[in-house]
Structure 1
Amino acid sequence: MSCILHIETSTSVCSVAVSEDSHVIFHDEAGLAGNEGENQAGKGNAAERLGSMVDAALSFTDSHAIPFDAVAVSCGPGSYTGLRIGVSMAKGLCYGRDLKLISVPTLELLCVPVLLAEKVLEGNALLCPMLDARRMEVYAGLYDRALRPVREIRADVVDTNTYKEWLDERPVYFFGNGAKKCMETINHPNAHYIDGVEPLAKWMQPLAEKRLLQGQTEDVAYFEPFYLKDYVAKMPKKLL
């Protein structure tokens, strides 16, 4: 099987995990100051927090003589500073230890704890993970229960009709730090909201392991994450 170091820094929670043979054997998390508008001191704090957590993970695996096969990192969308720090750390480890690099989409990662929860979702239900943006904007995707994309990831301005075409057909579960905007705006009988879902490193294992087994790894030299600004650039001018 495989041993993978997981790094997640796309939102205000920084987390690191280690998985071996499909089991999470190490996990740590902390609040992260990394946001779009943070100052240089905040950036240093974010890098320091992540660095100490990665050091702890490496000490744990080294003490147990567990060799790594790959590093998995959240690839966005997400905070510019957070993603940049996380990806830089992951690439440095891959270079230094000659490891493979795996990228995990942040919104897909958000779906994992929802699918693993005890709550039984309807067979035709859709999952709508969301990341908060400015004003009434969110960055969202739509997935079925097999994590097949139903709609591409894009920036949405939330109003009562934003997801109406899907809500009229089946249940849709909204979660992530952008879902609060939907809770206050969308009142549809098929709209369901799940609180407290964060994209944590400990949930990356099934997604990262699947990509590793399928040979879906990144070119360490050229890999870049998908920043929130990349989605803003694709928005119609009237929404900006």
Structure 2
Amino acid sequence: MLTGETVAVKVLATDSKQGEKEFQTEVMLLGRLHHRNLVNLVGYCAEKGQHMLVYVYMSKGSLASHLYSENLELLSWNLRVYIALDVARGLEYLHDGAAPPVIHRDIKSSNILLDQSMRARVADFGLSREEMVDKHAANIRGTFGYLDPEYISTRTFTKKSDVYSFGVLLFELIAGRNPLQGLMEYVELAAMSTEGKVGWEEIVDSRLDGKFDL
């Protein structure tokens, strides 16, 4: 940018089903959301059939990359706790601070971005909608592994859908396992093997070498 600030630009595919009206509606939604734990929209461009969204740049990338890349430093237990709190605050703002409330609908580790100080922000509001708008859809939206079972059966998004996805994200932070690779089944088996008591030693990311506090 002219100010020298580094930004992230998301270019929407030219064959996207999203029309001009839908794009402007999304920009209006994103433009009124401002919170330290959201990746805030700073500008947009809609010209000659090309649509672009300009966001604050998050230099440390996604939470998913830090959980699963062998080339990045392992996230400590304390840092995982801080990240979880940051995401919770971002969701709290969407659900209780925004007017009207907003349902994100796709909370997952690849949609949690980290800034230079490793503070987490919720990103990618492509599926987000105001709570009272477009809650019903014929096709399933979101990411399997994170989806609320109630949503799958009713096709109705609620705040609880985001809360369920956040719960999966918490287990992902704890276990260091991908929800698309049987995370919740792994957690259930670990719990069953300890005769009704939660066996955290079996669940917590083994790469932490026991350095965790619950």
Scaled by the length of structure 1, the TM-score of the pair is 0.29
- The structure with the greater share of residues assigned to helix is 2
Q: More relative contact order in 1 or in 2 (CA 8 Å, sep 6+)?
A: 1
Scaled by the length of structure 2, the TM-score of the pair is 0.31
- The structure with the greater share of residues assigned to strand is 1
